[in-house]
Amino acid sequence: MANTPLMPKATAVWLVDNTALSFTQIAAFCKLHPLEVKAIADGEAAQGIKGLDPVLTGQLTREEIEKGQRDPNYHLKLQGSKVVVPESKRRGPRYTPVSRRQDRPNAILWLVRNHPELKDAQIMRLVGTTKPTIQAIRERTHWNSANLTPSDPVTLGLCSQIELDMEVEKAAKNAPPRPEPEYAETLVPVEESTSEEAIAAAFTMDRRPREEEEAIDADAVFAKLNSLKKSKRDEDDDHRL
């Protein structure tokens, strides 16, 4: 974590909103993928995350940002952070102040929707809730499900961005590999489907059932004519007698 800025996503949000740095520069500094930075700029990712000014936290200087804005190929250098983050040694579920407890269902709904890979125990550590509450929100049987609004637990102050990132990273490492997608059969190329052989084969396949049907109908007609002739011959013989 020595080469990674404090709260990378929040820092990226601030840099996107307040500087002219390229997505590649921001991604390299925050240790994110350039596409993820682009998604942040488009409003498709990091919704609800408040930007963190890296200048105020001592991780960047104004001169460093200006150098990067003048030279798109310049790599920003991380300064020593003035913010000391104590190591978390908490055990058991997090204690949530009474004033924040009403926000927990909204935070749980946000976590369930945006990070389905998180286990119940991880959500319990992040927002200080219980397994039955998580289960009720997952199954939409919570007493207040109709009024719940998904809200980022970091924005609500229920956990820090670092804690959320750590739990998501841990869940991603423990998640089973995704199965290979089964692709459906592709269409035949135009060259093959429009070739003379393909057209002749399709025409032949289309004619065979019709020819068989016509042959069957002809046999039936002839059989009926023969029976009529026979009955007519019998009637003539009766008249002669």
The pLDDT of residue 1 is above 50? no
23-63 tens-digit pLDDT: 999 989 998 899 988 888 888 887 778 888 888 888 888 89
> Closest by alpha carbon to 76, among 161, 5, 1?
5
Flag whether 17 is in a domain.
yes
- Cα–Cα dist 139/144, whole Å: 12
Token digits for 230?
């026979």
130-155 tens-digit pLDDT: 999 999 999 999 888 889 999 999 88
Flag whether 132 is in a domain.
yes
Q: Which amino acid is at 133?
A: T
- Cα–Cα dist 126/96, whole Å: 10
Do 63 and 102 lie in one domain? The reply is no
Flag whether 78 is in a domain.
no
Q: Write out the DSSP string of 32-63.
A: --HHHHHHHHTTSSSTTPPP--TTTTTS--HH
Do 46 and 102 lie in one domain? The reply is no
- Cα–Cα dist 141/80, whole Å: 48
The residue range of the domain holding 42 is: 8-70
The pTM of this model reads: 0.39
- Cα–Cα dist 56/11, whole Å: 11
| Domains identified in the chain, total number | 2
Do 66 and 124 lie in one domain? The reply is no
